[in-house]
Amino acid sequence: MNRAIMDSGIPCWYAKYKYYFPRPSQIDPKIRVATGIPNFPSYTSGHSSFSAAAGTVLGYLFPSEKENLEQQFIEAGDSRVYGGIHYQFDNLEGRKSGVAVGELLISEAQNEGIDN
């Protein structure tokens, strides 16, 4: 799981600095955030990437909790949109990327004979 979290940061931060997309409150100053604005670009959401990667791997390791974990990583990403820190497309693309990284690591584990 820790490897999935760390590896999901690579495509996330690559996209952040490739596209350098501003945060919602940087586009519309009427948008107020309670937490302050992170000092790095918006797209894609690191929170969504990390949460989805971790939740995907944990869902593999604990199949009875898979649906619950998926709902938790969806909610974690959505919270950043509701908080005005991200756009929904940041959230969705971060989630998609995190799930893909998690699935890749699950595939590697299975190839090495590590089963849930």
pLDDT tens figures, 14-54: 999 999 999 999 999 899 898 889 999 999 999 999 999 99
Task: Specify if 37 maps to a domain.
Answer: no
The alpha-helical segments, DSSP class H, found in the chain are 2-19, 24-27, 46-61, 66-82, 88-111
Query: pTM value?
Result: 0.93
Task: Specify if 15 maps to a domain.
Answer: yes
Residue range of the domain that includes 77: 2-32+45-111
Q: Are 69 and 58 in contact (CB under 8 A)?
A: yes
For the chain, what is the domain count?
1
Q: How many Cα atoms occupy the beta-carbon half-sphere of 40 within 13 Å?
A: 12
Q: How confident is the model at residue 89 (pLDDT cuts 50, 70, 90)?
A: very high
